[in-house]
Chain A
Amino acid sequence: MFVEHLPDDRGQAHTLEAFTAALLLVAGLVFATQATAVTPLSASTSNQHVENQAAIAAQDVLTTAEASGELRAALLYYDDGFVGADDEYYTGLPNASHPLHGQLREAFDNRRIAFDVDVYYPAADGEGLDRTRMIDMGSPSDNAATASTRVALYGDDRFGDSDQYVLADDGPGGYFAAPVGAGDTLYTVVEVRITAWQM
């Protein structure tokens, strides 16, 4: 049955070789599993589905808030810094009196998703866009998703803690955005941008 190698007295060496070969094979496989543990399709914070869901949630928040007027109310909830904020802007979910509190909590905060809300508007000198932070939770990750919408603000819109100011009269000094031109009705058009990412 066995092929005779004459003279051959090195059986031990052959067994050792078999063990070494098996060890190499297993080590190679283990290394390969570790190397492919995270692929573009495995569930992680950079998963495409997670990004899509964050983008859809952000867009839905903007769409529903704009339709109900709460987005405009949130933009006008400003009195030398957004009302109730520690440092002109919120660093977390705004308190319950904020118009967007419900939407943002349902969409992001309950899910432990971080988000920034930025407002872009034409600069006072007419060159480019300026940005004011409404909510800032830090720097977005590389896999953040964004959604944005534009809101027109009119001269007779009222802003402040209890709507005590009128944009056309008090806006140029007290509101963050400067008026565009000398329009009688339109004050400015701002772009609200939500950036959301998995923490």
Chain B
Amino acid sequence: MSADRAQTVLDFVVGMSVFLVAVGFTFAFVPSLLEPYAVGEGATVIVAERGAARLAESSLAAAGSTATLSHACTLAFFDGTDPATAAAESGCDWTANGDDLHAELGVDDFRGLNLTVTRNGTVRTLDPGGANVTMRAGPAPPRDRSVAAASRIVAIDVDPEDDVGRETHRLTLRVW
């Protein structure tokens, strides 16, 4: 080895690996820096808010009121009653029942939708004389994806016979 070679192959390997590690680190981190500003996630939030508003204010709402749900329309919606029958019998506003949330809310099929009506954190049921109808529609939200949720506070006549038994529920629409 000649005495005037200051830069050796070993030096080059160390320098180069440090450089490559730094470049790799940069590429791994820049996307996460920009993530909060990325679009796309925001759309699900808007879909959730608009969908919940649509359900609480017109689809399931009693005539002439917002946020107060009609017992008959809500029951028929989760019951899977035919839209034409529900409109004729109870004057309901929805055009597709709980089995087809996408059609009712006008949301593309590639998005997931889940609707629940809860009280104290548990999904409630409506009781049309014996057969309980759970107020839940759509598949369970996935655990590995970002899910947007919007809630409305609604009142439902649990017993349509007397006007006093109106209870507060939380209507939650999840979108992913």
A9 touches B153 (CB 8 A): no
Tell me, in angstroms, the Cα distance from A21 to B21 when the chains sit together.
12
B17 CB to nearest A CB, Å: 10
A53 CB to nearest B CB, Å: 6
Q: Which of A6, A29, A36, A63 contacts B36 (CB 8 A)?
A: A36
A64 touches B33 (CB 8 A): no
Q: A106-B120, A110-B120 in contact; A67/B68 too (CB < 8 A)? A: yes
Q: A8-B4, A60-B153, A110-B121 in contact; A15/B15 too (CB < 8 A)? A: yes
Q: Is A52 an interface residue (CB 8 A)?
A: yes
Q: A19-B18, A39-B36 in contact; A60/B67 too (CB < 8 A)? A: yes
Total count of chain B residues near the partner, CB < 8 A = 43
B110 cross-chain contacts in A, Cβ below 8 A: none
B67 touches A64 (CB 8 A): yes
Tell me, in angstroms, the Cα distance from A56 to B19 when the chains sit together.
52
A15 touches B151 (CB 8 A): no
B66 cross-chain contacts in A, Cβ below 8 A: 63
Q: Which residue on chain A has the smallest CB distance to residue B149?
A: A53
A61 cross-chain contacts in B, Cβ below 8 A: 153
Tell me, in angstroms, the Cα distance from A29 to B29 when the chains sit together.
8
B153 touches A103 (CB 8 A): yes
Q: Which residue on chain A has the smallest CB distance to residue B45?
A: A49
B153 touches A57 (CB 8 A): yes
Q: A36-B33, A64-B67 in contact; A53/B14 too (CB < 8 A)? A: no
Q: Which of B6, B33, B151 contacts A10 (CB 8 A)?
A: B6
B4 touches A106 (CB 8 A): no
CB within 8 Å of B: which A1-49 residues: 2, 4-12, 14-15, 18-19, 21-22, 25-26, 29, 32-33, 36, 39, 41-42, 49
Tell me, in angstroms, the Cα distance from A194 to B14 when the chains sit together.
64
CB within 8 Å of A: which B114-164 residues: 119-121, 148, 150-155
- Proximity bits, A94-109, B CB within 8 Å = 1, else 0: 0000000011011100
- Proximity bits, B159-176, A CB within 8 Å = 1, else 0: 000000011111000000
Majority secondary structure of chain A interface residues (helix, strand, loop or mixed)? helix
Q: Which residue on chain B has the smallest CB distance to residue A58?
A: B153
B33 cross-chain contacts in A, Cβ below 8 A: 32-33, 36
Tell me, in angstroms, the Cα distance from A19 to B21 when the chains sit together.
11
B151 touches A53 (CB 8 A): yes
Q: Which of B26, B67, B148 contacts A29 (CB 8 A)?
A: B26
Q: Is B63 an interface residue (CB 8 A)?
A: no
Tell me, in angstroms, the Cα distance from A7 to B175 when the chains sit together.
69
B151 cross-chain contacts in A, Cβ below 8 A: 53, 56-57
B14 touches A106 (CB 8 A): no
Q: Is A162 an interface residue (CB 8 A)?
A: no
B121 cross-chain contacts in A, Cβ below 8 A: 110
Q: Is B65 an interface residue (CB 8 A)?
A: yes
* B contacts, CB < 8 Å to A: 4-8, 11-12, 14-15, 18-19, 21-22, 25-26, 29, 32-33, 36-37, 42, 45, 49, 56, 65-68, 119-121, 148, 150-155, 166-170
> 17 A-B pairs, CB-CB below 8 angstroms?
A6-B4, A11-B11, A18-B15, A22-B21, A25-B25, A33-B33, A36-B36, A49-B49, A52-B49, A56-B151, A57-B151, A57-B152, A60-B154, A64-B68, A67-B68, A106-B153, A107-B170
